[in-house]
C-alpha cells in the first residue's frame, strides 16, 4: 500500500531548517486538538472505574455507554435509535479506516466518493480498500459544499460527507442533507456523514444526517450512517469514544467484522465516556470559548464567523510561502490547505491558496496569534 504522508509530516518537512522568531511565544494552530483540560467530572469517572481494568471489554460496548450515546442522539437530534442501530467505537478514526474496507470488500470495482479537501483517513481507507476515489470538490465558488454529479454518484458504493466540515467550516442544511439521502436511495450507495464537529457550533445547532433521513421518510435509515465523537465536544480525545449509527442491516454485519479487529475500548474509558456523553454543561462552556475565539478572528482578520467547527479556512497568497514566513517571522504554525486536498482529474487542488487555523487555545493566546497572522498578511 502506498499511503501519502500525513499533513503534519509534510508541514514538518516544509518548515525544516527554519528557526522561528524567539521574540514571540510559540503558537501552534495546526492540529484539531482542544488545548483545554478535560472536565474534572470526566477525569473522576475514569479514576473511579480503574478497577475495571481487570476485565475484557465487549466489542459491542457496554450497556452503560450504548445507552448514554443513544440518549445523546435523542436529546440532541430528536432521533430515537434502537440498540441495534448504534455501535460504540474506539474514537472515529478507526471506524473511518476499517468500515470502508469491510463494506467494499465484496464489491466489484469498488468506488468511494468523499469531500476534497478532507480528513486524510478517508483517502487511506480508499487505498486500503483498493477503491477508486471520486473527489467532491469544496470551493469558494460552490460555498464549500459538495456538488452533485449524478452520473458519477451512480457508480459509487460509498459516499463520505463531512458536515460540519473540516477544514472548510461549511455546514449542510437539513434540506441539503435530505437531497443526499434521496440520492443514496436512488442510486443505492451507502451515505456516511462524519459529524465529529456537530457540537462545536457558534449559533444554531447543526443538523444530523439521521434527522435528514427521517425528514424524507427513511425511518429505517436505509443506506444511511453517521459517526460522531467525544473528542471535540468534551476536550477528551484521549478517551477515544465515538460511535457509528444508522442502518441496522449494515451494522449487524459490521459488528461481526469488528470482533476480529480487537479495538474494543477499555472499560474505564467507557465509563468516563458515558458520563461525558450524558452531560451538556461542559459542552456549552467549550462552545462559548470557541465563540469568543471566532469573535476575535472577526475583529482582527475581518472574517465572517462560520456556523460550526473551531477552524478558520483562510485564503492567502501562496500558502506554502506564507506558512514558512509566518513561522519564521512570527513563530506561528498553521497548516497549508493543499496538504489537506488532492489534485482532481483536471489537476485542480481545492485546498491550494488556503491555510487552516485551529482556534483551540484560550482567547488571549488566540488573539496574540491572530494579530501576528494579520501583520504577516499585510
122 has pLDDT over 90: yes
User: In the prediction, which pLDDT does 93 show?
Assistant: 95
Using the CB atoms, write b or e for 350-360: b if 16+ within 10 Å. Answer: bbbbbbbbbbb
User: In the prediction, which pLDDT does 246 show?
Assistant: 98
Q: What is the mean pLDDT of residues 313-333?
A: 97
In a domain, residue 187? The reply is: yes
User: In the prediction, which pLDDT does 149 show?
Assistant: 95
- Which residue among 260, 277, 294 closes a domain? 277
- Which residue among 277, 298, 319 closes a domain? 277
Residues 113 and 82 in one domain: yes
User: In the prediction, which pLDDT does 289 show?
Assistant: 96
The model's pLDDT over 222-259, given as tens digits with 9 standing for 90+, comes to: 999 999 999 999 999 999 999 999 999 999 999 999 99
Residues 345 and 205 in one domain: no
Residues 269 and 121 in one domain: yes
CA 122, 221, 179, 176 torsion-angle sign: negative
Q: Give the Cα separation of 26 and 19 in Å (integer).
A: 12
CATH code at position 206: 3.40.640.10
In a domain, residue 45? The reply is: no
1 has pLDDT over 90: no
Residues 326 and 260 in one domain: no
The model's pLDDT over 37-94, given as tens digits with 9 standing for 90+, comes to: 999 999 999 999 999 999 999 999 999 999 999 999 999 999 999 999 999 999 999 9
- Which residue among 248, 277, 306 closes a domain? 277
Residues 99 and 133 in one domain: yes
CATH code at position 306: 3.90.1150.10
In a domain, residue 42? The reply is: no
Q: What is the mean pLDDT of residues 7-25?
A: 96
In a domain, residue 66? The reply is: yes
User: In the prediction, which pLDDT does 203 show?
Assistant: 94
CB–CB of 114/136 below 8 Å? yes
Residues 293 and 245 in one domain: no
Distances from the Cα of 305 to the Cα of 79, 201, 300, angstroms: 28, 10, 12
Percent of the chain with pLDDT over 90: 98
291 has pLDDT over 90: yes
User: In the prediction, which pLDDT does 299 show?
Assistant: 98
Residues 235 and 111 in one domain: yes
The residue range of the domain holding 72 is 54-277
Residues 26 and 105 in one domain: no
In a domain, residue 354? The reply is: yes
Residues 292 and 191 in one domain: no
User: In the prediction, which pLDDT does 2 show?
Assistant: 87
120 has pLDDT over 90: yes
Residues 182 and 294 in one domain: no
Q: What is the mean pLDDT of residues 356-367?
A: 97
Q: Give the Cα separation of 348 and 342 in Å (integer).
A: 8
Residues 176 and 243 in one domain: yes
Q: Number of structural domains, the chain?
A: 2
Residues 287 and 268 in one domain: no
Amino acid at each position: 500500500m502506498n499511503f501519502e504522508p500525513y499533513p503534519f509530516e509534510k508541514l514538518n518537512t516544509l518548515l525544516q531548517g527554519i528557526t522561528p522568531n524567539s521574540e514571540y511565544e510559540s503558537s501552534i494552530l495546526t492540529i484539531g486538538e482542544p488545548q483545554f483540560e478535560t472536565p474534572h467530572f470526566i477525569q473522576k469517572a475514569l479514576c473511579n472505574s480503574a478497577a475495571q481494568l481487570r476485565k475484557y471489554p465487549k466489542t459491542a460496548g457496554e450497556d452503560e455507554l450504548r445507552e448514554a450515546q443513544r440518549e445523546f442522539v435523542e436529546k440532541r437530534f430528536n432521533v430515537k435509535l434502537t440498540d441495534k442501530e448504534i455501535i460504540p467505537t474506539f474514537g472515529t478514526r478507526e471506524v473511518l479506516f476499517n468500515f470502508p474496507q469491510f463494506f467494499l470488500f465484496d464489491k466489484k470495482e469498488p468506488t468511494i466518493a468523499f469531500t476534497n479537501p478532507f480528513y486524510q483517513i478517508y483517502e487511506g481507507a480508499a487505498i486500503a480498500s483498493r477503491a477508486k476515489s471520486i473527489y467532491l470538490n469544496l470551493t469558494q465558488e460552490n460555498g464549500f459544499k459538495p456538488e452533485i454529479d449524478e452520473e458519477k454518484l451512480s457508480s459509487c458504493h460509498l459516499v463520505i460527507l463531512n458536515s460540519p466540515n473540516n477544514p472548510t467550516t461549511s455546514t449542510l442544511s437539513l434540506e441539503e442533507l435530505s437531497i443526499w439521502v434521496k440520492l443514496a436511495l436512488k442510486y443505492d450507495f451507502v451515505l456516511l456523514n462524519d459529524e465529529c464537529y456537530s457540537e462545536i457550533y457558534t449559533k444554531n445547532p447543526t443538523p444530523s444526517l439521521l434527522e435528514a433521513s427521517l425528514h424524507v421518510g427513511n425511518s429505517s435509515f436505509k443506506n444511511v450512517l453517521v459517526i460522531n465523537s467525544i473528542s471535540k465536544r468534551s476536550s477528551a480525545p484521549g478517551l477515544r469514544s465515538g460511535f457509528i449509527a444508522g442502518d441496522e442491516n449494515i451494522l449487524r454485519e459490521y459488528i461481526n467484522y469488528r470482533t476480529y479487529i480487537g479495538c474494543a475500548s477499555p472499560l474505564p474509558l467507557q465509563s468516563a465516556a458515558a458520563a461525558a456523553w450524558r452531560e451538556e454543561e461542559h459542552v456549552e462552556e467549550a462552545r462559548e470559548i470557541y465563540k469568543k475565539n471566532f469573535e476575535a478572528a472577526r475583529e482582527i482578520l475581518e472574517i465572517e464567523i462560520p456556523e460550526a467547527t473551531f477552524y478558520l479556512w483562510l485564503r492567502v497568497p501562496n500558502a506554502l510561502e506564507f506558512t514558512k514566513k509566518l513561522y519564521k517571522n512570527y513563530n506561528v504554525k498553521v497548516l497549508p490547505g493543499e496538504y489537506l486536498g488532492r489534485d482532481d482529474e483536471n489537476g485542480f487542488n481545492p485546498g491550494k491558496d488556503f491555510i487552516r487555523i485551529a482556534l483551540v487555545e484560550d482567547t488571549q493566546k488566540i488573539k496574540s496569534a491572530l494579530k501576528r497572522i494579520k501583520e504577516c498578511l499585510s
